[in-house]
Structure 1
């Protein structure tokens, strides 16, 4: 708890663009946040934001999303598949997300995560997953990985241009994906194999029919 208080007390106001969100919570919890904000001489929004940030960091640590060693092991153990679910990196960069959609590509950044792209073979189907929305686009890999700089670091972006790239009129939500494949899916992972990906293609084709 002392870490949270210290984090809030020493935090400078963020200058980044903020997204608006509403949340309903128990009155007792809201009352505590009000009291904590008064004690720290911060706004309720600043207090809740810092508490959320601390909680997100704990969740990321529990899931080992940014653990390089764990990510390298995960990539080695991934089962072969001709279908892949690729997170568009929106939690790190809106620019990366937008670029994948605008140029019709699948990309990943920095080692070991960037090596996921090298696993995509020609003709493999790649579903692009946007956090909060679901599968927003898909296409087929060329099997040819290209490299470019990312924020000044050479060859830290691996990407493949996707053939027959299609942006969906309506995303396939996380709930719909789980229902279609009948299994749990880790949507925050950079890229996951989808052995039952044909079921997702069938769902997409059924919608567009």
Structure 2
């Protein structure tokens, strides 16, 4: 939902989505401004802050994506023959840009990327590489072991812009592993927003252990 739509819903007294408790500290002047607006609109502080935070997130993501577009090469993994197998990767399913692509990956049990340099990440996967599927705003929602065959399809009428690999032994029936949990169990600041990022063997094994615990 766009920031503009959220503001309109706020002004039109639409109900807010389900929320979780989050304690934050802000300057008194900012709190006063929020209280003034909340009083005028007959809404709560929490409702206004939620909308403002969502808007800030959207703008930050937009600027980060713009920055990434100027440094596309940094987003490409390489296929080195001398690397120990399996390797571990975190793949963002692109849910924010295409819900259908996200659900297709889960339904087919596959890793996919589309267009430009991003699809090269799928091409450069090696057989039995471990790929974790990450749902933006939620967490890791599936994983499996990459097939040796690269699948190339058309995407939305664009010829051969969809690169995919089947993920063998695909698992998705577990409690989603959130960004915070991932950081806690790997003891590292992982990057979740990029299309695909490499993980160390220790990070990958820690995530698999956590997934197995949630299945039991």
**TM-score, normalised with respect to structure 1:** 0.73
Aligned residues: 189
What secondary structure sits across from 2:140 in the alignment? strand
The answer as to whether partners of 2:134 and 2:141 remain within 8 angstroms in 1 is yes
The answer as to whether partners of 1:72 and 1:113 remain within 8 angstroms in 2 is no
Distance 1:147 1:33, change over 3 A: farther
The answer as to whether partners of 2:154 and 2:160 remain within 8 angstroms in 1 is yes
- In the alignment, the residues of structure 1 paired with residue 156 and residue 78 of structure 2 have an alpha-carbon distance, to the nearest angstrom, of 29
Any runs of at least 4 consecutive aligned residues in structure 1 with deviations exceeding 4 A, and if so which? 21-27, 31-37, 51-54, 76-81
What secondary structure sits across from 2:175 in the alignment? strand
- In the alignment, the residues of structure 2 paired with residue 35 and residue 156 of structure 1 have an alpha-carbon distance, to the nearest angstrom, of 51
- In the alignment, the residues of structure 2 paired with residue 204 and residue 159 of structure 1 have an alpha-carbon distance, to the nearest angstrom, of 23
Which residue in the other structure is 2:215 paired with? 208
Which blocks of at least 5 consecutive residues in structure 1 are unaligned?
A: 1-6, 14-18, 38-44
**TM-score, normalised with respect to structure 2:** 0.71
Which residue in the other structure is 1:115 paired with? 120
Matched, 1:63 2:68: no
Distance 1:137 1:57, change over 3 A: closer
Which residue in the other structure is 2:17 paired with? 20
Distance 1:65 1:82, change over 3 A: farther
- Please report how far the alpha carbon of residue 158 of structure 1 lies from its aligned counterpart in structure 2 after TM superposition: 0.9
The Cα RMSD (Å) is: 3.5
